[in-house]
């Protein structure tokens, strides 16, 4: 059976066996503020299967999907077109059912797809080597911070004010457990190079994002030079992988580690996941890189083959020797990324990136003509911030009432009050001229 319920006496016997008083003992390390004090609203205690299906269906209809109307939401998760062939490939049984390739002699297909994925990520970021993916962009960022501390033997990391707050919080959480100090600069629309002034002699790395959470593109070369002069590493972060088809990649700006989110290529929004983390670095740091690394070799008969060259996860080696305790690599999402990237090719990715940028420029031109609106992002790819004469929360709600999902209010990410009137909007190749006209018209109406 898929579900085997336990009786109260069964649970009591299990608790006695392990010396626990109640199930609550299992959650002693979870702060009280993070625990629910009552059952989740809207969910009944128990019902039959048919009733549960009906109830969940009603709940699902309360969602607005990215395809229900004009959609301009970004901030780390982007709506891009995914060819139907990608879904067909990843649902083939030999891919969908594969697991960790412990035995290379029976996992050559899986190992080759990982090898191809790594090759694509290394080329995309202009770095020497990439691993076989991570959970998502935020955990990749956190792992980069910890890796930089191992490399430099320092215990302080400096984060840009333009780094996505979710990435910053994930990094802070992971680093706190490792005894690493995390310093985050105040949020700034165009402030990546402020890290140069804040950089100290005890910093293991500086973490900057381009395009940053406000969409601003920054040349990180001066930051790389400043970091290297002080013995620190530069970690370059991106949340929009398609941007690397047009903007200067991290490796060409002096980055030592490049991390980011690969969702934009082959992976649907999915109401928040699962996504896939990209992680690349200079070859001299390869042995400190978390995760797995698939390599190419020759078998005893001289035929091309693939193996796990490095596996420094705790799933493979002793925990105290592991570089990471992340025990999955979002393999199916990595495969989707590889399939989509293969279909695009270098020329296709460049055309896609150019289309994204042109669409964002059209959106900025249209919104900039609305009375009281000011475009704030000075250099952008497909996402930018703009100021409105009314509170952003009110404007976003008004746009939604007009059938337009107009973006993300910056105050949702930075709730301290500085950006209460700022909206961050994204425009990908999925946005049409009609969508832009609808957004502009709705914004005029909301701001009257």
Under the phi-then-psi rule, with left for phi > 0, alpha for psi from -120 to 50, and beta for the rest, what region is 266? left
Spatial distance between the Cα atoms of 431 and 356, rounded to a whole number of angstroms? 9
User: Checking phi first, is residue 92 left (phi over 0); if not, alpha (psi -120 to 50) or beta?
Assistant: beta
Compute CA distances 89 → 93, 116, 280, whole Å. Answer: 9, 15, 25
Predicted local confidence at residue 329, as pLDDT: 78
Give the CA distances from residue 228 to residues 148, 152, 269, in Å, rounded to whole numbers and listed in that order: 12, 11, 37
23 CB-side CA count, 13 A: 4
Instruction: Determine the pLDDT at residue 417.
Output: 82
- Cα→Cα distances 203→53, 155, 163, Å: 53, 7, 17
C-alpha 405/C-alpha 401 separation (Å) is 9
Q: At 260, is the secondary structure helix, strand, or coil?
A: strand
Q: Are 315 and 329 in contact (CB under 8 A)?
A: no
Residue 366, token pair as written in the block: 């249209």
- CA trace torsion 90, 91, 94, 96 (10° rounding): 80
CA distances, 4 to each of 10, 17, 148 (Å):
12, 20, 46
pLDDT for 317: 65
The pLDDT assigned to 104 comes to 78
Across the chain, which has 448 residues, the per-10-residue mean pLDDT values are 75 94 91 86 77 89 92 98 96 78 81 95 98 95 97 98 98 94 98 96 98 98 98 98 98 98 97 95 95 91 91 66 75 95 97 98 98 98 98 97 97 92 98 98 97
Helix (H) or strand (E) holding 367: helix 331-368
Residue 28 tokens read as 């002693």
Contact 446, 395 (CB under 8 A): yes
Q: Which of 268, 320, 266, 324 is nearest to 120 (CA)?
A: 266
What six digits make up the tokens of 287?
């042995």
Q: How far, in Å, CA of 364 to CA of 384, rounded?
A: 8
Question: Model pTM?
Answer: 0.90
| H/E run at residue 297 | strand 292-298
Helical axes 331-368 vs 433-446, angle rounded to 10°: 60
- What backbone phi and psi angles, to 5 degrees, belong to 296? -100, 140
Query: Tell me, what's the pLDDT at 37?
Result: 84
Asked whether the beta carbons of 157 and 259 are under 8 A apart, the reply is no
Show the domains of the chain with their CATH numbers: 84-341 (3.40.640.10), 345-446 (3.90.1150.10)
Compute the distance between CA of residue 323 and CA of residue 212 in angstroms, rounded to an integer: 27
pLDDT of residue 314: 58
């Amino acid at each position: 059976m898929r579900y085997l319920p336990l009786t109260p006496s069964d649970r009591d016997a299990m608790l006695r066996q392990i010396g626990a008083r109640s199930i609550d003992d299992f959650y002693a390390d979870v702060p009280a503020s993070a625990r629910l004090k009552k059952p989740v609203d809207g969910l009944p205690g128990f019902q039959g299967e048919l009733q549960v299906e009906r109830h969940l269906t009603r709940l699902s209809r309360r969602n607005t999907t990215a395809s229900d109307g004009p959609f301009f939401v970004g901030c780390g998760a982007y709506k891009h077109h995914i060819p139907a062939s990608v879904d067909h490939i990843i649902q083939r049984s030999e891919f969908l059912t594969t697991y960790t390739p412990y035995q290379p002699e029976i996992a050559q297909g899986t190992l080759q797809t990982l090898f191809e994925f790594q090759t694509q990520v290394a080329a995309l970021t202009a770095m020497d080597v990439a691993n076989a993916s991570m959970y998502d962009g935020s955990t990749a960022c956190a792992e980069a911070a910890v890796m930089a501390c191992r490399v430099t033997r320092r215990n302080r990391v400096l984060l840009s004010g333009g780094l996505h707050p979710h990435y910053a919080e994930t990094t802070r959480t992971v680093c706190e457990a490792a005894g690493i100090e995390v310093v985050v600069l105040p949020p700034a629309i165009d402030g990546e190079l402020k890290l140069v002034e804040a950089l100290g002699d005890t910093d293991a790395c500086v973490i900057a994002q381009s395009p940053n959470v406000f969409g601003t593109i920054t040349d990180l070369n001066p930051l790389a030079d400043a970091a290297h002069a002080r013995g620190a590493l530069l970690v370059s972060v991106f949340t929009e992988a398609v941007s690397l088809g047009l903007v200067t990649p991290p490796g060409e700006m002096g980055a030592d580690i490049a991390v980011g989110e690969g969702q934009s290529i082959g992976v649907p929004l999915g109401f928040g996941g699962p996504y896939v983390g990209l992680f690349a670095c200079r070859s001299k740091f390869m042995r400190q890189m978390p995760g797995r690394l698939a390599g190419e070799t020759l078998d005893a008969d001289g035929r091309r083959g693939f193996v796990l060259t490095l596996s420094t996860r705790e799933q493979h080696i002793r925990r105290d020797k592991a570089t990471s305790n992340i025990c999955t690599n979002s393999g199916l999402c990595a495969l989707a990324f590889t399939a989509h990237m293969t279909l695009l090719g270098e020329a296709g990715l460049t055309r896609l990136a150019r289309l994204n940028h042109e669409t964002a420029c059209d959106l900025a031109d249209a919104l900039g003509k609305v009375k009281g609106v000011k475009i704030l992002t000075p250099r952008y790819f497909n996402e930018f911030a703009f100021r409105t004469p009314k509170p952003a929360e009110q404007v976003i709600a008004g746009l939604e009432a007009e059938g337009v999902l107009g973006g993300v209010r910056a105050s949702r990410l930075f709730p301290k009050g500085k950006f209460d009137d700022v909206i961050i909007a994204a425009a990908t190749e999925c946005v049409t001229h009609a969508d832009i006209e609808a957004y502009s018209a709705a914004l005029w109406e909301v701001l009257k």
